[in-house]
Structure formats: C-alpha cells, structure tokens
Structure 1
C-alpha cells in the first residue's frame, strides 16, 4: 500500500519510535514535527508511557493539543494541562485480573497507574525510581483514583511467555500488551488500546482512519498500526510490528519518523 499523499493526522509512538535511545529528540525531528503542525496537520503522541513521563516530550511539538498516554487509558489536553478523556479499568475487574494472573503465574507483582501517579505492591521491582511520594502497599489500597493502566511484572519469565500465560488466565476481561525490554505487562480495560482511543479522538476531529499515518515499534503499537490508513514500523521494530505495518521507516536513532514525514509532506 502506498502512503497517503497528504495525511490529515500523524500518530506516533515515542520510545523506540520518535525518541532516540538516549532519551532525546533531535533538532531535525523537532523541526519537522513543528512544520507539519504549522501546515495544519495534528501530530498526536500515542504512547504507553504514563503521563509523568510523556510530559517530558510534549514540548517537541509545542502546545499541540492532545496526547494519548498509558496505551489509550488517558487522553491528555496538553494546552489545558488537564484530562480530556479517561478510560479507566474497573476496580473489581482489575483485582480479579490480578488474582487470576497471580494464580496462573506465581511470582507476579503489580502496580497501578492513575492520572496523578503510581502505586506499587511491595514486591514490584521498578526499573526506574518512582516519584518520591508514590505509595507502596497492598493491592486493594492502590486504587485510590481511577486506574488508567495496570502493570504486572515477573522477574523470571520472558515477556512473550508471561503475556501468553496471562492472556490464557484472564481471557477478554482486559486488554494485555507489552512494550518493555523487561517482562512487564501493560493492562488496560477491555477494548482500550492505542487504536480504539485514537479512533475516538479522530472521530472528534473529523479525521478518517484512511487519512492517518502512524508509526510504532512494539506489540502495544499493533492495534494502531492495523487501524491507520498508512502505517510504518521502525527499522529496528519487533518482528510482529514489521509484519503488520505497510512500510518500514529508518530506525529511531536515525530520525526515521521525521525522514518519512519530510518525504510525505515535501519538506
């Protein structure tokens, strides 16, 4: 499938896609994104990152409007610095999901992402230090606000092995995916994905799926890449992503998103 000549919306993942391995966004990429915005085409970040990490890169497209974070669990209004749409996991469903996963895979530990922060079980081993005011406690205590993402970690299994076991245990109660290099499952409410939330946002903006160009690199991007009219996997993407996407872009360390957009928009 040939890329659309003039997309009406750009949807891009962050880590492994837009953001370089060192956590930076190049001046070239920033300039391209800003020029696309100046031409009236929204650039929407669609990320698994929680809000506190996504905010670090909002400035790369200015006060550009809306960002989809936590794999679709939250749409954030960047200009207003307020939620635009929250798609939380029902607490009872989340607790049952944790119980079923822990029974199927002993050694599982959980954390809960909310709009305001993260709560963690004592046994949940973070790879990056959580905010100093993060609460650690029993699972039932962590749902003090609507949960936009549930995290499940295992220290011994491989990511795919853990994902398969968890999905077999919980069925369609929730949506499970992963995007980390470690064994960390990212769990959303049933049918909440990057794609379903992006579809809601595009409907509000009057943009059809056929007019969206999307970029990603990991399994949590698969629904979005399958939904968008034109999709690109990064050169170093997970094999399942490369198999799903229409095209392959240069790698994230080579400004792949920006280079494709420069060609599409004739920059």
Structure 2
C-alpha cells in the first residue's frame, strides 16, 4: 500500500458535513507511515473545505470526477480537461428530447452557472454558491469541466438509463446522487480512474499498490482500476459489483477500519 485514493461524500463524509475522528486518525496514521493520500471526488475545487479543515489535507485533490487536478494547499489548478460549448449544446438537445423537463448547470473553473429551474425541489440553493445564468457559449471561456442535468422527480438511476444511450458518444455521464435525479457529465474519456492513474504513474506507483475507496457509480472505474478497490457496504449496488473488495459501511467507519487493518499488516511484514 503506497497510495490511498478516497472518494469523499458517502465514503468518509456524512450528510452532516462531518468526518469521524476515527477516520481522521486513520488517514493521519497512514500519512505518518509514508503512504501517500489523494482524495478523488465529484466535487469542484471550491467545495473542498471538509478535507482541508477536518483532515488537514493540503496536497492534491482530483476533482470534478477527474476533470480537474487541484493543489489544495496552494489553491491552484494543476491541470484540467474541458468540455466544448458545441458538445454542451449537442448533449443538451439530446437530453431535452428524451426528458423535456430536465434543467441544466455548468461547472466551470470560475464557478457553477445554473439556469432557471435547476435549483428548487430537492437541491438546497444556499449550499452551492451558484451564479444564476442564461447558459451560453461565453461560459466556455471559463473552462467548462462538468455539465449537470437534473429532473426534480424520479431517481438518478432512472434518468441515467433514459439518456445515457443518447449521449454516451458525446460526453462521459455518471451520477453520485443517492436521492436526486442529478446527472454529472464530463469530458469524453475522462473519469476518476484516468486521472488517478496519471497521478500515480507520475510518482512511480503501480495500480497494484493503490488502495481506493468509493460508494457510487462515479467511482466504478477507479474501484476497478485500483489494486485494492473497496466499495462501501453502504454504497450503490453498481459500486459493490465493480469492486473486488467491500469495506464496512460508512456508518461503521469502514474506510478507517480498512486502513487500520492494512497498516497493522504492514507493521507485521
């Protein structure tokens, strides 16, 4: 175990915005043992306070499902993959033909731009620090790294099944929403695993030496790529099917339990 790659929401962070003391201590012990830590999340760079403030992480975070690598300590984008406005427009047309009530938002390197009707229902506007906007090609000047589509009824699984066949050749589409029909779309060919693999390779770390944790469909590729990919027992069925290993549930500090066990094994070796 040379590198731990962990998702954030639903894996180490609860709906209350808290990371358990046991989990914080486990990451600290791993770092003290010389294990590199990287967080790999669907969150954008502007929304990483929990791991900076609670864990004290100041290294790299792979954000926006792999579209952005971010130096949290320096608050600096290290690299990014962007979506063209032409692709956004094509994808929007396809989704609206299949789901006319869908509403959209664009995450750029300068903020989250939402169209009228995107917020409301089950999305808490106050927590997102959004910029209301008419979505247009000028937003691409800020570097679009994620496209979001929401329906205020139904589930993310249902929404994904309905639109994925129509957009899969244009854009990477997934979701990480357990209770909301919210789709996350990024540059074609980019996902958490692709960017994590590059990060590890740059440090001379093979997939076999990576322990990864995740709980939702946006973690599938990462869990399959890592030498030890752990889906949370409390996670989505697709994540559990994709991973070779299962960690105890989030509620039982599953990530901490696995890290503790693996560190103990390293000490005995």
| TM-score (norm. length: structure 2) | 0.91
- The residue number in structure 2 matching 1:171 is 168
Question: Separation in 1 of the partners of 2:105 and 2:219?
Answer: 22
Please say if 1:243 is aligned against 2:237.
Answer: no
User: Quick check: 1:93–1:173 contact (8 Å CA) kept in 2?
Assistant: yes
Question: Structure 1 residue 96 and structure 2 residue 94: aligned?
Answer: no
**Mean alpha-carbon deviation: is it higher for 236-245 or for 182-191?**
236-245
Specify every segment of 5 or more residues in structure 1 that has no aligned partner in the other structure, as ranges. 1-6
Q: Give how far 1:20 is off.
A: 2.6
- Is residue 82 of structure 2 the alignment partner of residue 84 of structure 1? no
Q: 2:17 aligns with which of 7, 23, 30?
A: 23
Moved more, 57-66 or 95-104: 57-66
CA root-mean-square deviation? 1.7
Matched with 2:8 is 14
Asked whether the 8 Å contact 1:73–1:188 carries over to 2, the reply is yes
Separation (CA, whole Å) in 2 of partners of 1:70 and 1:197: 11
Aligned to 2:158: 161
User: How big is the shift at 1:144?
Assistant: 4.0
Distance in 2, matches of 1:132 and 1:206, equals: 38
Higher relative contact order (CA 8 A, sep 6+): 1
Q: Deviations over 1:178-232 (max 9, x none)?
A: 0112000000000110111111111111111111011111111101001101111
Distance in 2, matches of 1:55 and 1:31, equals 18
Shift of 1:49: 1.3
Name the SS of the counterpart of 1:134 in structure 2: strand
What's the offset of the Cα at 1:81?
A: 1.0
- 1:10 CA drift (Å): 0.3
Post-superposition Cα deviations, 1:9-67, rounded to whole Å, max 9, x if no partner, equal 00111111111342201112111101211222111111111222223322344344100
Q: Which residue number corresponds to residue 3 of structure 1?
A: none
Q: Deviations over 1:92-118 (max 9, x none)?
A: 112211111112221111100122310
SS of the aligned residue for 1:67 comes to: strand
Give the TM-score normalised by the residue count of structure 1: 0.92
Q: Is the 8 A contact 1:32 1:262 kept in 2?
A: yes
